[in-house]
Structure 1
Amino acid sequence: MLKRFLMLLFLLPVAPVVAEEGNDAAGNVYLPLENTMAAVNATLAEARDTQRQALFVMGAHWCHDSRALARNLAQEEVAGEVGKRFVVRFIDVGFLEDNFDVNRRFGLPVIFGTPTVLAVDPATEALLNRDTVNIWPNAATMSAAETLAHLTAIEADPQLPSGKPEPGSLLASIDRFELEQSRRIYRGFSVVGPLLAAFKAGEDPEQFEAYWQQLGAMRSQLGKDLPRLRREARAMTAAGTEGGALEFPVYAPFDWESGELAGE
């Protein structure tokens, strides 16, 4: 019962104007764009011209973490500092079905939750925060100061590898693992997204709670496992032991994969 209450609280809709939350438009910035990739290109161009980085915030208005991050970014003490470093663009992912070509463009096969923040070097289009991209689905637990601290810690890394890792390398094996899991997550989005839309419309679709929790748990764990695997791979490479093997996690099948609840 408690888990049900918490999930309802997490997904609770809010009105576009919420005076007690400060900026009444801050949570309503995840809006459809007429041409998302043109907007991405314009953001990158402005970032290049002003010698800043591009910051793409992928989220949705139904998501309380997405709204919380938008409110934090709108705080005066945050907006000024972030604006010195980044050109910010909000990207609406709809009910987990829209605009995933944006994260794929910058080398991230799938988003691990909403919101997902991508800090991008506008000159090389390199993703600068790949190892910390998983922290943002917990944005509602962050204060404005913590949000600012995470963003200002992102720096252009001269050691950041360009292009794809060497075939057969440990990092290449992690990329393959990530791609395999991303396909499972996209399949999960196609299953859970319509149920989420129905839930937000006031319905109580069968299996939504179980499916939502399963997908959320796997995405969260994958987002933690990938940086750990990459740290291990880099350490093994630095120690000259790249010939060793990484231990990849195995995630339980979703109910829609096994058919245990879906009856498939």
Structure 2
Amino acid sequence: MINLFKLKPFLILLVTISLVFNHYSAFANETKEEKSQGEKYISFEHQMQDVDKVISLAKKNNKLALIVMGANWCHDSRSLARNLFSQEVKEVIDTHYELLFINVGFMEKVRPVITRFGMPIIYSTPTALIIEPNSELLINRHNIHTIRDADSVSIADTKAYFENIAINRSKLVQSLSSLDANIDQKKLKQLNQEIDNFENYQADRIYQAYEVIGPMIKERKSGVKNKNFQKYWKSASKLRYTITDDLDKLRGQAIKIAKNKDSNEKLDFPTYPKFAWE
């Protein structure tokens, strides 16, 4: 009789290999035309002025501002840009949004725009910021990473994501602006500050990672391959993907603790390994 428990690690390995293969197969099968259609991340010399303009236009037209931060070298960034101009999604975007693409370069043009809207860093390309223009609130922060793997997100799911945010615009703004009477707001503020400090520390580490990996990406675009690139990229990506889920858990834990006014429970902060080059 086959021992399924002994087979389990092997089966997990097979599934992982299959997912990785499918991911890179989709990337490899991207046609030149598809690649060109997704290359919307042109160089902006005055990014903050462009952000001001799109927010002003959104306010004037009673729409949301959609700011997509990405890069032409990133296949997920190209996929999201291409999906936004598909017939099904474009109708939603044209109706509810004013759209701006921000080129993050080789991860060196990240900080000014993202910090304006209350986040210390972007954890992935692409990152789609949905801004309510009157308050400049980032109203999709709760699920901002849903479509970061855009090459694996269907047209239907992409449409549903942006459509649901637009439909629930007022509720999202209200939820970000109102206070829950059942929560000790002083305690919650203190706990959130602890989380912010933790996130800022990790964000600084990721910025340092971008300084290491960014030039390598640029070299690869010129045909120069660094033998350490894959190892370094994987090391940084592991943290970039893990921390977003961990931050969501910490915010949820903070609310739970703050609801119990007599609780002395502390936040359970995760620890992460050093980067491959550290």
Q: Distance in 2 between matches of 1:187 and 1:208?
A: 15
CA deviation map 1:117-165 (0-9, x unaligned): 1111111111111121222321111111101111222233202048xx8
Which of 98, 102, 107 is 1:91 aligned to?
102
2:142 matched to which residue of 1?
131
**Cα–Cα, structure 1 residues 184 and 12, in superposed 2: closer, same or farther, change >3 Å?**
farther
Q: Distance in 1 between matches of 2:25 and 2:225?
A: 15
2:86 matched to which residue of 1?
75
- Following superposition of structure 1 onto structure 2, how do residues 34-45 of structure 1 map, counting pairs within 5 Å? 34-45=45-56
Q: Is this contact kept in 2: 1:132–1:227, CA < 8 A?
A: no
Is residue 195 of structure 1 aligned with residue 195 of structure 2?
no
Is residue 26 of structure 1 aligned with residue 37 of structure 2?
yes
Shift in Å at residue 229 of structure 1? 1.3
**Cα–Cα, structure 1 residues 86 and 127, in superposed 2: closer, same or farther, change >3 Å?**
same
Is residue 232 of structure 1 aligned with residue 253 of structure 2?
yes
Which of 63, 82, 92 is 2:74 aligned to?
63
Q: Distance in 2 between matches of 1:129 and 1:251?
A: 26
CA deviation map 1:42-81 (0-9, x unaligned): 0000111111111110001111111111111001111111
Shift in Å at residue 34 of structure 1? 2.7
Q: Give ranges in structure 1 of 5+ residues lacking alignment.
A: 258-264
CA deviation map 1:178-231 (0-9, x unaligned): 111100000000000001111222122131110000001110001111112112
Highest Rg: 1 or 2?
Answer: 2
Which of 147, 153, 160 is 2:176 aligned to?
160
2:60 matched to which residue of 1?
49
**Cα–Cα, structure 1 residues 47 and 243, in superposed 2: closer, same or farther, change >3 Å?**
farther
Which of 165, 168, 178 is 2:199 aligned to?
178
1:261 matched to which residue of 2?
none
Identity of aligned residues (%): 35
**Which is further off, 196-205 or 218-227?**
196-205
- Following superposition of structure 1 onto structure 2, how do residues 211-222 of structure 1 map, counting pairs within 5 Å? 211-222=232-243
**Which is further off, 152-161 or 49-58?**
152-161
Counterpart secondary structure, 2:261: coil
Aligned residue type for 1:26: Q
Q: Would you say how many aligned residue pairs link Structure 1 and Structure 2? A: 249
Counterpart secondary structure, 2:100: strand
Q: Distance in 1 between matches of 2:25 and 2:236?
A: 18
Shift in Å at residue 90 of structure 1? 0.6
Q: Give ranges in structure 2 of 5+ residues lacking alignment.
A: 1-16, 179-184
**Cα–Cα, structure 1 residues 218 and 13, in superposed 2: closer, same or farther, change >3 Å?**
farther
**Which is further off, 166-175 or 90-99?**
166-175
Aligned residue type for 1:211: Y
TM-score, normalization by structure 2? 0.81
Counterpart secondary structure, 1:191: helix
Structure 1 segments, 4+ long, off by >4 Å, are 2-15, 165-168
Is residue 111 of structure 1 aligned with residue 122 of structure 2?
yes
**Cα–Cα, structure 1 residues 238 and 12, in superposed 2: closer, same or farther, change >3 Å?**
same
